[in-house]
Amino acid sequence: MIDLHTHSLFSDGVLLPSELIQRARKKGYAAIAITDHVDISNIDFVIKRITKVCKDTNRAYHDIKCICGVEITHVAPVLVAGLVKMARRLGAQIVVFHGETTLEPVEPGSNKAAILAGVDILAHPGRITDEEALLAAQKGVYLEITARAGHNITNEHVAIAARKAGARMVFDTDTHVPENLTDDQGREKILVAAGLNKDEIEAIICNSGELVKKVTGGR
């Protein structure tokens, strides 16, 4: 199990980063990215602290890989590209963007701005358009199928758009509390509910592994 979208108490999660990692480890996770919500007010604070935790984790354990990330959230589309660059400059290994979920008042145009800015994962992109999905395919941006309640109501729409455009997908939990962490069976159940077939599910699992290798330099 690889999960590249989770939250600690550095944003709206409830767990210390170390406990989040340990709980994922005990569930058999091979890799976890901690991607707390950021904007210009806290991006440096979050990246600095998650980097420290991931360094300690990767030194202490060999059965799980910890990745420092961020989820850029509710940032005006015109400001997204600058914040993506800042996140990478500050040391974020993976950049997730809080997509246009139908659950929250995300500014229209955010999906497209994030894709053009070259984020790694567009999280819960809601009613993503065919044009945006095609752009994601061209830019190498992964579209997320999510386990998160509420955000997941558009999973099937996202899967259809990605399939049509040839965009790559990943599965993430968007964990905020311990109960959000899932396992291989839970992942499969959610992906099947999104209308994905066996081959597509295997591709999603591989995509997550490939993205981990890409952002960690294969380490």
pTM of structure: 0.97
2-216 placed in CATH 3.20.20.140: yes
Which pLDDT tens digits describe the chain residue by residue (219 residues)? Answer: 999 999 999 999 999 999 999 999 999 999 999 999 999 999 999 999 999 999 999 999 999 999 999 999 999 999 999 999 999 999 999 999 999 999 999 999 999 999 999 999 999 999 999 999 999 999 999 999 999 999 999 999 999 999 999 999 999 999 999 999 999 999 999 999 999 999 999 999 999 999 999 999 876
User: Cα separations (Å) of 6 from 110, 123, 134, 158?
Assistant: 20, 11, 26, 20
Candidates 209, 200, 111; CA nearest to 159 is 200
Question: What is the arrangement of strands in the sheet containing 65-72, beginning at the earlier edge strand?
Answer: 2-6, 31-38, 65-72, 94-98, 121-123, 142-146, 169-172
153 in Cβ contact with 120 (< 8 Å):
no
With tokens 């929250």, the residue in question is 104
Q: If you ran DSSP here, which 8-state letter would residue 112 be given?
A: H
Q: Hey, where are the domains in the chain?
A: 2-216
